[in-house]
Amino acid sequence: MAQVPGSFFRSKCGRIFLCAAALLALGAAPPQLAESQVQRRAWQPLIISGRELPVSFQNVRTSQIEVLAIQRGRPRPIPFQIDEVLPDGRYALPKGPQPIKDDSPGIFDSDDQIVAMISDFGERAESGSGLPQNTAEVEMTDPLDNSTRYVYVSTVESPWLSPIDYVDYDVRAGKIESEHYRLGFTDQLPTDFALQTRKNEGRPNLIDRLKSRIQAKIMMMANFHVTEGDVRNTLVAYTDGPIRVIKRMNHSVSIGFGIRSPGVASDDLFYRDYIDNPFDVSLPWVPRLIFGDIVVRAYLDFLNLQGYSLAWSGMQGKPVPIQPGTKVNPGDSNIDWLAFQGEGEVMVQTLLFGPDLGSVKRRLFYDYSNSSDPPEKQPGNHPGVGYVMTGWEDLTSGHHHFDSILLKAPARNFDPNLLLKELRTPPTVSIRAVESTQ
């Protein structure tokens, strides 16, 4: 394998590969369905930073905070979690091999975050609702339909807490599980995935592994090739709360001749309904100066999707049944999402690319064959579904960001285009102190 400058792996190649390695590309739901058939933002959390709350919330103990919603005229506790954040923006993650300590542990300050699910929000409190003395009203308005929902954050000596825990992380078993999905890891790489309707349902594993392959030319001469098997993934620290699991990972790529690239850190977030892999790439120079013809294939190698159907954004006609011999014509257009439907479940995967990544083309990858494509447990793809991405060498120098989102849809008739609308049109939030009604 050719020698490659280490600085490249700190920036471009390392992040491209890690980006590719995190894409859970899954397939299909009916492409066009009425938006009114599903509750808006049922999958989405709301994140409230300490600086948005009244000054009376500054420097209180995190153990004093409660979050209530008014449901049928009465306050009820809803699940929430507090994630402490360092001044540099990193999460303070208290568990794992190398815990990341907060600068003011156990104290709620302006950098910290309160996270709750929008689906748990309720009505506006009326006089006599019995809210505590130090309470802030959080009003959330959805610009897509102008609906409003409310939640109330308070500080008390003995908080009223919900027993609900939406997502679990079993570190020893290498498994993250919610009532909607199970995701298992081998050497921190996804090798087990199932849709489900409750925790510990035990449905069969759908995947062989997540596959990521990169090929490129170096100085337009030597060929460069790397797979997910060349990446070392190491858990650094994590937190496991009722709303989300946050994992900080270090990644390094095997360059060859016994040399590994410097580590690159990333934070992966796992919620009840979806997985968020945000990625940041900082390029000190234009990639084309060294690399050309960069092609990234990022896809899930499924074990068996008989009975499922596949759809993607911009496709012509009905969703395609996934089975041997089915012909799939992906076309040359960019795709915004992939989706699949089967066994009464729908999963949607999307990439959120900003204008700065306009040169990167995203086309459908679909392969149903017995041809070996190692590393893998079983030869071939049955099928392999994901993305072929080109044009990375045309990026400019500087900072680039994108998100990979994998969503267990909230309804069988969910329109994946609605997900894009909700992601691109965040709700508006206003927060005010309210007087005690006790």
Which residues, 6 or more positions from 436, have their beta carbon under 8 angstroms from its beta carbon?
A: 131, 132, 133, 135
Three-state secondary-structure class, residue 290: coil
For 4-19, how does the pLDDT look when each residue is reduced to its tens digit (9 = 90+)?
Answer: 333 333 333 444 434 4
Domain enclosing residue 281, as ranges: 6-33+166-424
Average pLDDT over residues 238-256: 89
Q: In angstroms, rounded to a whole number, what is the distance separating the alpha carbons of residues 120 and 266?
A: 29
- Whether 251 is in a domain gets the answer yes
Asked if 383 and 291 sit in the same domain, the reply is yes
Tell me: cis bond preceding 409? Omega within 30 of 0 counts.
no
Contacts 24+ apart (CB under 8 A), 220-225: 220/292, 222/2, 223/2, 224/1, 224/2, 224/4, 224/291, 225/1
For 96-155, how does the pLDDT look when each residue is reduced to its tens digit (9 = 90+)?
Answer: 999 999 999 999 999 999 999 999 999 999 876 789 999 999 999 999 999 999 999 999
- Give the strand pairing for 244-256 and 264-271: antiparallel
Asked if 341 and 233 sit in the same domain, the reply is yes
- Bigger pLDDT: 62 vs 232: 62
Residue 128 CA, chain-centre distance (Å), reads 40
Asked if 159 and 174 sit in the same domain, the reply is no
Question: 10 Å Cβ neighbour count for 436?
Answer: 11
Asked if 53 and 96 sit in the same domain, the reply is yes
Asked if 137 and 91 sit in the same domain, the reply is yes
- Whether 1 is in a domain gets the answer no
Asked if 229 and 180 sit in the same domain, the reply is yes
Asked if 358 and 253 sit in the same domain, the reply is yes
- Whether 412 is in a domain gets the answer yes
Asked if 124 and 176 sit in the same domain, the reply is no
Question: 10 Å Cβ neighbour count for 147?
Answer: 13
Q: In angstroms, rounded to a whole number, what is the distance separating the alpha carbons of residues 89 and 334?
A: 33
- Bigger pLDDT: 283 vs 315: 315
Q: In angstroms, rounded to a whole number, what is the distance separating the alpha carbons of residues 336 and 315?
A: 11
pLDDT of residue 275: 96
pLDDT at 257 over 80: no
Asked if 174 and 143 sit in the same domain, the reply is no
- Whether 290 is in a domain gets the answer yes
Q: Give me the number of domains the chain comprises.
A: 2
Asked if 78 and 193 sit in the same domain, the reply is no
CATH of the domain at 322: 2.70.98
Q: Write the DSSP symbol of residue 219.
A: T
Asked if 391 and 316 sit in the same domain, the reply is yes
The beta strand positions in 156-221, using DSSP E, are: 167-170, 175-178, 181-186, 189-195, 207-218
Q: In angstroms, rounded to a whole number, what is the distance separating the alpha carbons of residues 149 and 141?
A: 7
Mean pLDDT estimate for the chain: 87
Q: In angstroms, rounded to a whole number, what is the distance separating the alpha carbons of residues 44 and 121?
A: 11
**pTM of the predicted model as reported, rounded to 2 decimal places:** 0.89
Asked if 124 and 22 sit in the same domain, the reply is no
- Whether 69 is in a domain gets the answer yes
Nearest partner of 168 among 182, 157, 147, 153, judged by Cα: 182
- Bigger pLDDT: 76 vs 304: 76
- Whether 309 is in a domain gets the answer yes
- Whether 87 is in a domain gets the answer yes
